[in-house]
Amino acid sequence: MTEVFIISDLDKCTGCGICEFACSAKKEKKFNPLLSCIRLVKDEPLITMSLSCRLCEKPPCVAVCPTKALKKSENTGVIMVKEDRCIGCRWCLQACPFGGLGIHPTKKSVFVCDLCEGDPFCIKLCPKEALELMTQETMEEKARISTVKKLLQSISST
Amino acid sequence: MYPSYAGKILHIDLTNKNIIIKRLSKELIRNYIGGKGIAARLLYDEVKNEVSPLDPANKLIFATGPATGTIVPHKGYNVTFKSPLTGIYACSSSGGFFGDKMKRAGYDIIVISGRSENPVYLLIDDDDVQILKADHLWGKDSFETRSVIQSDHGSDVEVARIGTAGEKLVKFASIMNDYSRTAGRCGAGAVMGSKNLKAIAVRGTNPVEVERIDELVEFVNSLIIKFKEIPSSKVMSKYGPLSMVDPYHEFGLLVTRYWHEGLFKPFLKRELDVDTILSKVKVKDKACSSCPLNCSKICVSKEGKYAGTIVEGLDFEPFMSFGPLLYNDDLDTIMKCIEICDRMGMDAISTGNTIAFAMECYEKGIITSEEIGGLELDWGNSEVIVQLTESIGRREGFGDVLAEGVREASRKISRGAEKFAMHIKGLELPMYDPRAKSYGLAIAVADRGACHCQGEMHVYYARGVYKHRIISRDSLQEWPKIIKEIEDLGAVKDSFIFCRFFRDLYDEETISKLTPYLMGVEISIKELKLIGERIINLVRAFNVREGVSRKDDYPPDRFFIEPIPEGPAKGVILNKEEFETALDHYYELREWNHDGVPRNETLLKLGLHDVVNDSML
């Protein structure tokens, strides 16, 4: 099965945080960005974008987990958490270069984006269509097209 | 407690370093909702008429509303206080994420009173509230202050703070939060400065809960999808508030040269419309928490002496205030002045106004170059505009006089300068022309002085349509009723707190439908309107206690005696007789007496028994 993951468009993202509200509402029935699997990142004034689990091919979170609580799904590629095994040691948080995991404040175990069974709620609610579900192929294609467009623009403007 | 509220008021007395947490009563919520409403009640009860705005006894009330911290599109917080600029009631609001964090820290309201002996800042980390020394922050600008606090306490704290203008008690100093969101009007920053309070840093980790969350999220999402398709939303999303430049230029009512003209010829000559302006400088759209509109346009100046200057909000008001108002067509210096205001923490509207006032006094020979340190205050002298903006923020030289605001500055200058000071109740005018009749009436009766947000007539004048009905722009007949209706609902919106740019997202029916989710009880449209009236009347009573009456409910004389000289609006002017009739009509609808004082039976009907018995009223 082709793996899909969530991509946030740096130009389109306005930093409204609706994705965080959507995720925490759906998963935790509360509004709290700290409980959201997708997190808004800001480097003001110029940068706003959202980040969630990148579904790494070689996930460092899985590799470092001392209790084997984390596993990458062979089917979908999402990181699955065995809550009864997780001891909340935060090794995975430290290992993830994207800050893609969190520790649940009451369950005290790790939580991470599960792509809402292939239909992520954050994407549905993003008012700017800044979030997209992509495969490796669509992502590469998008990068090619945008580069070609930029080149053509610079040629036509000179 | 009702679901979406944190349920607590945090009281901080800076004189005695006392921190007390009180429960937010259900009664306050039912009668005043939150935000503007509850804060107005607290201010009325706790800040009487003997309190001077910069006295320790004045209070600075930060308030969130039931929508704050939820997915329901909202505005973060507002801050209520007695204004050092106007001497009366003031409430100023701001977006960003500060309000959300304040509520998640567990406080719907924060009331600051007293005065610290030395500079301090507050660190609110959920339940842990500390008053910390701010000697290292005093003297730092607004951007540096936030950086230092975030590097000391983590980038997940959000910081409401003053810049150097607030420290120096510039009467229209603002409170800044997030990168450069601003509670701008009426001088909240000066009140904060007078308390020796440099900043409030908040980390909030608690959730905000509502009833039937899945249903609410679906409901809000369906509202947003419809809202995004409305033409006005598309324009706002693309251009932000700056989009008002074009329609007002077409009306011939684009505020130019301190309300002497209605066409800004340098822009016409250069064919500068909003699309051209933004295509030169805009680099990114930005939004406040939960907002689908992203009115904020991050802009970078590309050419000129100040190239590289970044402003978060190339917004209509500051743009006009440093541009056409001063006959300045240099985009680079306009952006620089906005940046200075954000950096020093000053209201751009009032700052531009005071400079325009000075330019007019200079033109009329009331002040001379020698008196003001050799400055040549000719219209459009962009270099001097930048210099003067900085000296106002520092209270240096002539800037010290202008830092008092136009009303007080004109008294200090005297020699007939008073009649050139454009203000209502001491608040400098926003960037629309009061000769647009409905707008002129709306800003004259607004509670905090010349405020365009409350009556929203700058929008409805431009639309010429209200609730699907065409209303004549040339007559004042129908507008008093509409203004009252918008003000009443507006007070409710300011209590939830809904940004005024959501005017086409939230009608009274939608707000009522949201109440069961946010408040746990359904509040009917009728009751919402009653709450709005209650807030408006309570605030009016506060102002009456401060001496406000009919005499204060007029636009400056200029608009009754000087017509627009040329262009599409040539000859447009306010008519005194028509205005008086409309004012009478407005008071009648409000059930206030001829002098604009709420009648006892009106107050009783709204449950304001204690106000009737207020001996100071």
- ipTM value, please give it: 0.95
Task: Please tell me the predicted confidence (pLDDT) of residue B385.
Answer: 98
pLDDT reading at B4 higher than 70: yes
pLDDT reading at B213 higher than 70: yes
Task: Please tell me the predicted confidence (pLDDT) of residue B195.
Answer: 98
pLDDT reading at A136 higher than 90: no
The stretch B277-305 carries a mean pLDDT of 95
For residues A141 and A122, state if they share a domain: yes
Task: Please tell me the predicted confidence (pLDDT) of residue B282.
Answer: 95
Which residues, 6 or more positions from B307, have their beta carbon under 8 angstroms from its beta carbon?
B301, B332
Q: Give the C-alpha separation, B441 to B326, whole Å.
A: 24
Please say whether the beta carbons of B542 and B616 come within 8 A. no
- A45 contacts B179? CB cut-off 8 A: yes
Task: Please tell me the predicted confidence (pLDDT) of residue A146.
Answer: 87
Which residue, B345, B408, B354, is CA-closest to B166? B345
Q: Give the C-alpha separation, B379 to B362, whole Å.
A: 9
Q: How many domains does chain A have?
A: 2
For residues A104 and A135, state if they share a domain: no
Last residue within a domain, chosen from A112, A133, A150 = A112
Locus of tokens 């009563």 = B25
Task: Please tell me the predicted confidence (pLDDT) of residue A142.
Answer: 87
The stretch A134-147 carries a mean pLDDT of 88
- A45 contacts B208? CB cut-off 8 A: no
Secondary structure of chain B: what % helix, strand, coil (to 5)? 45, 15, 40
Q: Name the residue among B69, B180, B287 with its Cβ closest to that of A16.
A: B287
Please say whether the beta carbons of B459 and B490 come within 8 A. no
For residues A60 and A46, state if they share a domain: no
Q: Give the C-alpha separation, B171 to B404, whole Å.
A: 5
pLDDT reading at B362 higher than 70: yes
Cis ω for the linkage preceding A45 (within 30 of 0): yes
Q: Which domains, from first to last, does chain B contain?
A: 8-203 (3.60.9.10), 240-428 (1.10.569.10), 437-612 (1.10.599.10)
What is the tens place of the pLDDT at every residue in B60-79?
999 999 999 999 999 999 99
For residues A78 and A92, state if they share a domain: yes
Please, what sign has the CA dihedral across residues B402, B403, B407, B409? negative
- A45 contacts B312? CB cut-off 8 A: yes
For residues A121 and A146, state if they share a domain: yes
Task: Please tell me the predicted confidence (pLDDT) of residue B17.
Answer: 98
Please say whether the beta carbons of B322 and B338 come within 8 A. yes
Q: Give the C-alpha separation, B137 to A15, whole Å.
A: 28
DSSP-derived pairing of the beta strands B8-13 and B109-113: parallel
pLDDT reading at A120 higher than 70: yes
H, E, C per residue of chain A: CCCEEEEECCCCCCCCCHHHHHHHHHHHCCECHHHCCCEEEEECCCEEEEECCCCCCCCHHHHHCCCCCEEECCCCCCEEECCCCCCCCCHHHHHCCCCCEEECCCCCCEEECCHHHHCCHHHHHCCCCCEEEEEHHHHHHHHHHHHHHHHHHHHHCC
B542 touches chain A (CB under 8 A): no
What is the tens place of the pLDDT at every residue in B143-182?
999 999 999 999 999 999 999 999 999 999 999 999 999 9
For residues A92 and A135, state if they share a domain: no
Residue of B nearest to A49 (CA): B286
Task: Please tell me the predicted confidence (pLDDT) of residue B131.
Answer: 98
Q: How many CB atoms sit inside 10 A of residue B473's CB?
A: 18
Which residue, B59, B83, B62, is CA-closest to B448? B83
- A48 contacts B286? CB cut-off 8 A: yes
- A127 contacts B224? CB cut-off 8 A: yes
DSSP β-bridge partners for residue B346: B173
What is the tens place of the pLDDT at every residue in B174-208?
999 999 999 999 999 999 999 999 999 999 999 99
Q: Name the residue among B205, B213, B292 with its Cβ closest to that of A25.
A: B213
- A46 contacts B310? CB cut-off 8 A: yes
From the candidates A31, A34, A35, which should be mutated to test the interface with B, based on the most B CB atoms within 10 A?
A: A31
Task: Please tell me the predicted confidence (pLDDT) of residue A1.
Answer: 59
For residues A72 and A104, state if they share a domain: yes
How far the first Cα of chain A sits from its last, in Å, is: 45
For residues A63 and A36, state if they share a domain: no
Last residue within a domain, chosen from A112, A127, A147 = A112
Q: Name the residue among B207, B221, B298 with its Cβ closest to that of A125.
A: B221
| Confidence tier at B1 by pLDDT (50, 70, 90) | low
Task: Please tell me the predicted confidence (pLDDT) of residue B265.
Answer: 96
B298 touches chain A (CB under 8 A): yes
Residue of A nearest to B296 (CA): A14
For residues A149 and A120, state if they share a domain: yes
Shortest Cα distance, chain B CAs vs residue A126, angstroms: 8
pLDDT reading at A13 higher than 80: yes
| Confidence tier at A139 by pLDDT (50, 70, 90) | confident
Task: Please tell me the predicted confidence (pLDDT) of residue A158.
Answer: 62
Q: Give the C-alpha separation, B492 to B495, whole Å.
A: 5
The stretch B109-117 carries a mean pLDDT of 98
Q: Name the residue among B217, B287, B312 with its Cβ closest to that of A25.
A: B217
Which residues of A fall within a CB distance of 8 Å from B221? 124-125
For residues A42 and A76, state if they share a domain: no
Q: Name the residue among B104, B228, B294 with its Cβ closest to that of A16.
A: B294
| Of A1-15, A55-69, B277-291, B321-335, minimum mean pLDDT range | A1-15
Task: Tokens for B426, please give them.
Answer: 């001491």
Q: How far is CA B408 from CA B174, B226, B367, B450, B477, in A?
A: 18, 47, 15, 16, 35
- A30 contacts B71? CB cut-off 8 A: no
Task: Tokens for B411, please give them.
Answer: 């008294």
Residue A155, domain CATH: 3.30.70.20
Query: What backbone phi and psi angles, to 5 degrees, belong to A58?
Result: -120, 75
What is the extent of the structural domain holding A97?
53-112
Helix boundaries (H) for B422-524: 437-445, 452-455, 457-463, 479-496, 508-519
Q: Give the C-alpha separation, B335 to B305, whole Å.
A: 11
| Confidence tier at B278 by pLDDT (50, 70, 90) | very high
State the pTM of this model.
Answer: 0.97
| Confidence tier at A152 by pLDDT (50, 70, 90) | confident
Please say whether the beta carbons of B37 and B30 come within 8 A. no
In which element (H, E) is residue B251 found? helix B245-251
Q: Which amino acid is at B353?
A: N
Q: Which amino acid is at A26?
A: K
What is the tens place of the pLDDT at every residue in B562-612?
999 999 999 999 999 999 999 999 999 999 999 999 999 999 999 999 999
Q: How many CB pairs lie under 8 A apart between chains A and B?
A: 82
| Confidence tier at B275 by pLDDT (50, 70, 90) | very high
Phi-psi category of B584—alpha, beta or left, where left has phi over 0 and alpha has psi -120 to 50?
A: alpha
Last residue within a domain, chosen from A96, A112, A128 = A112
For residues A83 and A120, state if they share a domain: no
| Confidence tier at B483 by pLDDT (50, 70, 90) | very high
Task: Tokens for B209, please give them.
Answer: 């809960």
The stretch A22-45 carries a mean pLDDT of 96
For residues A57 and A108, state if they share a domain: yes
Task: Please tell me the predicted confidence (pLDDT) of residue B245.
Answer: 96
Query: What backbone phi and psi angles, to 5 degrees, belong to B195?
Result: -90, 5
Please say whether the beta carbons of A134 and A7 come within 8 A. yes
